Chain A
């Protein structure tokens, strides 16, 4: 029996309305926080050990402490772009409990002195965006947002900004460009958003789950929150399990649970009782793990030790009826489509990796191409403004490394099939002359 914080009674009818949320003690933490000094809020965030839930796992309190002090226009931006394949935890939170996100944003904005806040939600989440807008309107009417929050003389404005379908807008600086009304190209860092973010002003950017966790941290206390989970990965984490499992969906776990307990326990095991071929522990950007790694504890440090990462907490499980080549093609072609084109290693690297994988699938490759893929992936990593290129390179190169025999067997089989098809088509369509012509031995045509 694990502890529930964010998901506690999340399906209570009407929780998305202010009445039910307040009946459950909603906005009490915001009132309490606004009576405290902003510094002590940042300190409790640091003490809680909360780490960014969007993917990078950066300590939230530390990030908040980077925001310069003083009276100026500061911004709070909530990253609700949730476009990492396999991730759908924020959707559940925003749809069912939007007020706890708003409350978390009020507390975070007060802690860093931000007076304008935006929720950047992906355009596909139309229903969730409407729910959020209604909740914000309710909160504004009740005085929780506006020029004088709760009569404490604090100003906080909040708007929902809908995106229009681009994976790169989940990257923080790409998101800021999109929010400024441009193409969502990532920016050079430093300066980091904490110093120069939205409209060149200091900007605190956090994921939905991170911000939603803040009122719960204040409720249970920073020490109690830090005591949950394991040493460097404290608290609870929402995980999204999908793929070939019996019960796909969102689960709230204390960190440190093993992958096997999640996949076979919570998610009910693999469909048709097959074996795990591979699993992505943190969204499609994370290096894949195999069934040998199922007993790795699910926390930031242990997964990094296993050569992967916790990322956004999205577990995608593929069973052994799938071909690893198909999965690699799917992964690479997604990043090829979503690469914004600003940095050459990513733009060209994702494109050529996809082309090489397609060649492997259709039987036009040699095992040497696997080395080329690994080398291309190596050259993408760390050489771009953002990590989109790395996000393709890491899973693809890990698949090539861990499943090399499967790739080689596929190359050989597909090559033979393609040869047979070609010979058959030559026999039927053209006769032997065109073969001779093809290899340069036939009579010249012109």
Chain B
């Protein structure tokens, strides 16, 4: 297999734009590509035929990642700071971003909260949303796109409006976090309005296995809670009201005096010791395992 070399460096834009006659070819991007010789990964002869050869899966554009090549267009100049006269920004969004910018000595600090605000409006950080934020903040769309790419809660692709994060980190997976994600995905994953994904530690290991439904932490979610929770996610109702984190007392029994504990309980706070059976399928201890 030969090493594929891309003839198109970042400084070759002009060469691409014009052919010999000085005209920009219509299919400049397509013609710039070296023909792909590694074959279609969907080809059964390549996928399963040669068992001991590892094929490098390449997509039709020659890249190993989907849409790698579509992510930029070398025939265009980089976008600058958008012209305020050209971009239509909703008034509420503009006011919110301007308020955010006023809090910091450097207005760029507001980029994460501003993108989050645009995401609330548009559902995801679409090119349109990024352009609106860039217009108000006087930044380039590329700068904001880079910020979006770094943070897990900013969505670079269209997703459902209802966000469900299921914690699958160590503490939760010890108590069935992965199984909770699979079970919830089975029930709500088909709904395009729901964005369900496994997430880094959400900081609520005391209620493991848990999930966050539009920012509301619920847990522990036992096997019997999955079905009602899925219903509530789909209908947009308050998720498992009796299992929400904000209604939990601190686990340290010695922290509160009896009066406070009584008052808290009467005020709707729940006892911390409330662990439903684990979702996890019990496994046998690894043979030969244990402590060395």
Instruction: Kindly state whether residue A1 has any CB partner on chain B within 8 Å.
Output: yes
> A126 to B255, Cβ gap below 8 A?
no
Given A11-B261, A127-B216; A96-B250 close (CB under 8 Å)? yes
Contacts of A243 in B (CB 8 A): 170-171, 174-175, 205, 208
Which residues 236-263 of B have a CB within 8 angstroms of A?
A: 245-246, 249-252, 254-257, 260-261, 263
Instruction: Kindly state whether residue A421 has any CB partner on chain B within 8 Å.
Output: no
Contacts of A251 in B (CB 8 A): 251-252
A161 to B166 alpha-carbon distance, docked (Å): 24
A413 to B109 alpha-carbon distance, docked (Å): 53
Instruction: Kindly state whether residue A260 has any CB partner on chain B within 8 Å.
Output: no
Contacts of A340 in B (CB 8 A): 150
Given A166-B152, A178-B112; A1-B174 close (CB under 8 Å)? no
> B206 to A11, Cβ gap below 8 A?
no
> B174 to A410, Cβ gap below 8 A?
no
Interface membership of chain A positions 65-101, coded 1 if the CB is closer than 8 angstroms to chain B and 0 otherwise: 0000000010000000011111110111001100000
Which residues 152-198 of A have a CB within 8 angstroms of B?
A: 159, 161-167, 178-184
Instruction: Kindly state whether residue A418 has any CB partner on chain B within 8 Å.
Output: no
Contacts of B292 in A (CB 8 A): 402-406
The stretch that binds A, out of B7-15, B27-35, B186-194, B282-290, is B282-290
> A11 to B275, Cβ gap below 8 A?
no
Which residues 265-292 of B have a CB within 8 angstroms of A?
A: 267, 269, 272-273, 275, 278, 282-292
Instruction: Kindly state whether residue B154 has any CB partner on chain A within 8 Å.
Output: yes
Shortest Cβ distance from residue A289 to the other chain B in the assembled complex, whole angstroms: 11
Which residues 118-153 of A have a CB within 8 angstroms of B?
A: 122-127
A124 to B257 alpha-carbon distance, docked (Å): 31
Instruction: Kindly state whether residue B106 has any CB partner on chain A within 8 Å.
Output: yes
In which size bucket is the chain A interface?
35 or more
> A88 to B105, Cβ gap below 8 A?
no
Closest to A82 in B: B203
A426 to B278 alpha-carbon distance, docked (Å): 39
A266 to B49 alpha-carbon distance, docked (Å): 58
Contacts of B109 in A (CB 8 A): 161, 179-181
> B202 to A124, Cβ gap below 8 A?
yes
A26 to B153 alpha-carbon distance, docked (Å): 35
Contacts of B261 in A (CB 8 A): 11
The stretch that binds B, out of A34-42, A210-218, A432-440, is A432-440
Interface membership of chain B positions 102-134, coded 1 if the CB is closer than 8 angstroms to chain A and 0 otherwise: 011110111111011000000000000000000
Contacts of B151 in A (CB 8 A): 123, 163-166, 184
Instruction: Kindly state whether residue A219 has any CB partner on chain B within 8 Å.
Output: no
A405 to B292 alpha-carbon distance, docked (Å): 6
Instruction: Kindly state whether residue A10 has any CB partner on chain B within 8 Å.
Output: yes
The stretch that binds B, out of A296-304, A329-337, A367-375, is A329-337
> A409 to B106, Cβ gap below 8 A?
no
Interface membership of chain A positions 259-299, coded 1 if the CB is closer than 8 angstroms to chain B and 0 otherwise: 00000001010010000010010001000001110000000
Instruction: Kindly state whether residue B85 has any CB partner on chain A within 8 Å.
Output: no
Closest to A322 in B: B174
Contacts of A323 in B (CB 8 A): 283, 286, 289
A334 to B178 alpha-carbon distance, docked (Å): 14
> B252 to A249, Cβ gap below 8 A?
yes
Closest to A327 in B: B170
> A159 to B275, Cβ gap below 8 A?
no
> B200 to A167, Cβ gap below 8 A?
yes
A127 to B217 alpha-carbon distance, docked (Å): 9
Interface centre among B110, B171, B175 (most CB of A within 10 A): B171
> B170 to A284, Cβ gap below 8 A?
yes
> A439 to B251, Cβ gap below 8 A?
no
> A181 to B108, Cβ gap below 8 A?
yes
Closest to A163 in B: B112
A402 to B289 alpha-carbon distance, docked (Å): 11
Contacts of B269 in A (CB 8 A): 11, 13
Contacts of A30 in B (CB 8 A): none
Given A164-B151, A252-B252, A323-B289; A337-B205 close (CB under 8 Å)? no
- Select B255's contact among A125, A252, A319, beta carbons within 8 Å: A252
Instruction: Kindly state whether residue A355 has any CB partner on chain B within 8 Å.
Output: no
Contacts of B153 in A (CB 8 A): 123-124, 164-165
Shortest Cβ distance from residue B163 to the other chain A in the assembled complex, whole angstroms: 10
> B200 to A338, Cβ gap below 8 A?
yes
Instruction: Kindly state whether residue B81 has any CB partner on chain A within 8 Å.
Output: no
- Select B200's contact among A244, A268, A334, beta carbons within 8 Å: A334
Instruction: Kindly state whether residue B65 has any CB partner on chain A within 8 Å.
Output: no
Shortest Cβ distance from residue A8 to the other chain B in the assembled complex, whole angstroms: 7
Contacts of B159 in A (CB 8 A): none
Contacts of A63 in B (CB 8 A): none
Given A82-B203, A86-B171, A250-B252; A164-B288 close (CB under 8 Å)? no
Closest 8 CB pairs of A and B: A249-B251, A126-B215, A242-B205, A409-B288, A165-B152, A164-B151, A438-B52, A181-B111
Q: What are 28 inter-chain pairs, A to B, with CB distance below 8 A? A: A4-B254, A11-B264, A12-B256, A73-B105, A85-B171, A85-B200, A86-B170, A87-B201, A88-B204, A124-B153, A124-B203, A127-B246, A164-B153, A181-B112, A241-B206, A246-B275, A248-B275, A249-B251, A249-B252, A318-B174, A319-B174, A320-B290, A321-B282, A325-B286, A331-B170, A406-B288, A406-B292, A434-B49
Measuring CB to CB, which residues of chain B are less than 8 angstroms from any residue of chain A?
48-53, 103-106, 108-113, 115-116, 146-147, 149-154, 165, 169-171, 173-175, 199-208, 212, 215-217, 245-246, 249-252, 254-257, 260-261, 263-264, 267, 269, 272-273, 275, 278, 282-292
